[in-house]
Amino acid sequence: MSDIVSFAVEASIKSGQLDNFKALVEEMVQSTRNEPDTLTYESFLSDDNKTCHLHDRYADSIAAMTHLATFGEKFAERFMNAADITRFTVYGAPNDELKGLLGGFGAVFMGQTNGFAR
């Protein structure tokens, strides 16, 4: 098993907030490029532009907490003004501190039971 932790977040974009949401996600991507232990940071938008899936993958819990600190400082308020989190799933083995942080977002934790990554 590895230390890698990943997030799958589903967000419902609020009415009239699509352009703001898209601009915010672009800003978040540019900021996150500077985080060396963020392995994957992607967003996917539904055909009707109402739902966004965000997929994040971090080298370990410390990298995820580093990202969350930046997100909280720079982006959280604007994100919550533009979208509602409807599902938040965490994969891997986050440490207790990260679990505590993500529990406030209603995260569901899924521990790895089998598999591999390349």
Output DSSP code: residue 14: P
**Is the pLDDT score of 118 beyond 90?**
no
pTM, two decimal places: 0.93
Q: How far apart are CA 8 and CA 88, in angstroms?
A: 6
- Rounded percentage of the chain residues whose pLDDT exceeds 90: 92
Q: Which CATH class is domain 5-110?
A: alpha beta
Tell me if 90 sits within 8 A of 107, measured CB to CB: yes
pLDDT (tens digit, 9 = 90+) per residue, 69-112?
A: 999 999 999 999 999 999 999 999 999 999 999 998 899 999 99
Integer Cα distance of 3 and 13 in angstroms? 32
Instruction: Give the number of C-alpha atoms closer than 13 A to the C-alpha of residue 36, restricted to the C-beta side.
Output: 0
* Domain spans of the chain, in order of start: 5-110
Average pLDDT of 9-35?
98
